[in-house]
Amino acid sequence: MSLIERLVNKTIEQSQPEVTSPMNEFEISIEVLGRRPGYLKGYGIHLRGSSSTRSLAKSAERDAEVVALKETVAVQAEQIASQAEQMNAQAEQMNVQAEQMNTQAQKTADLEALVHQLLARSQPAASGGSRDFSCR
């Protein structure tokens, strides 16, 4: 009798009404197929793989983690490069603005000097009274 036939027969036998405490599928598979340490019969589940299997799984897990970290580093490097470009552009703008402010400051200083010269020239004329610039 094949294993499948034995499993079917045992399942039918356990489903009869006269069986007071029927076995579940797991118990039936253990009885028919036998017990093997570290393996759940009928479920295809290995409870614990060999050390080489575990080692390979850990290695694959580490490799995936390394790849993910490398991708993260690459993204961060791109962000840093982009931020550096933005900072350089801002520095250039600040230099242009500083030059404009220096030019304006020089113009203001020149105008103040001219005003002082004009005031200085008009002071003696105002005290002497000989010059009259009023409109008649």
For residue range 119-136, list pLDDT tens digits in order: 999 886 555 555 555 555
Find where tokens 């690459």 sit: 74
What's the rounded Cα separation, in Å, for the pair 33 and 69? 46
What's the rounded Cα separation, in Å, for the pair 33 and 124? 126
Looking at residue 45, its pLDDT comes to 57
The answer to whether the predicted template modeling score (pTM) of the entire model surpasses 0.75 is: no
Report the candidate in 41, 37, 38, 36 with the shortest Cα–Cα distance to residue 24: 41
What residue segments make up the domains of the chain, in order of their start? 1-48, 50-120
